Amino acid sequence: MEKLSFSLEDYIEEIYNQIINTGQAKVTAIASALGVKKASVTGALNSLAEKKLINYAPYSEITLTEEGEKIAKKIREKHENLAEFFMTVLGAGKPEAVDIACKMEHIVPDKIFENMVKLTACVKSELKEKIGKLY
């Protein structure tokens, strides 16, 4: 599978988030969440359908294929772990951490991502230990 553009990654992640949160993904809700026009969403959905990452036809339910769900989960995992890294390790506030994570999830190589997750776990463990000693 060829690498998706950052934009298509955002669309597939948003479809996944909507399915998880509401049980379905809709063009209007995707447009609203991503701040784009419905025509842009339709174009992206057609592109994702051509790549066999979603099942889509106008006015029908939008679902992820097995491959699409796998990709969406990986993007969401990066997003969540990057945000946690920025908050836990670097002390960023949640809105700032989420915003930066959304931009970086597309470009952080897997090896660096894995190391960031390990560092976050280390820092959390150390913080837990310090807090435990206080009580």
Domains: count for the chain: 2
Q: Decide if 48 is inside a domain.
A: yes
Instruction: Give the tens place of pLDDT for each residue, 51-110.
Output: 999 999 988 889 999 999 999 999 999 999 999 999 999 999 999 999 999 999 999 999
Residue 111 belongs to domain spanning: 73-134
**Statement to judge: residues 56 and 18 lie in one domain:** yes
Q: Decide if 1 is inside a domain.
A: no
> At 61, which CATH number?
1.10.10.10
Show the tokens assigned to 75: 């993007």
- Name residue 35's amino acid: G
* β-bridge mates for residue 64, sequence order: 54
Q: Decide if 46 is inside a domain.
A: yes
- 99-111 burial by CB neighbour count: b if 16+ within 10 A, else e? ebbbebbbebeee
Show the tokens assigned to 27: 């063009």
If one compares 132 and 68, the residue with the highest pLDDT of the two is: 68
What distance in Å separates the CA atoms of residue 78 and residue 84, rounded to the nearest whole number?
10
Looking at 70, 95, 119, the residue that finishes a domain is: 70
Nearest residue to 79 via CA among 58, 99, 54: 99
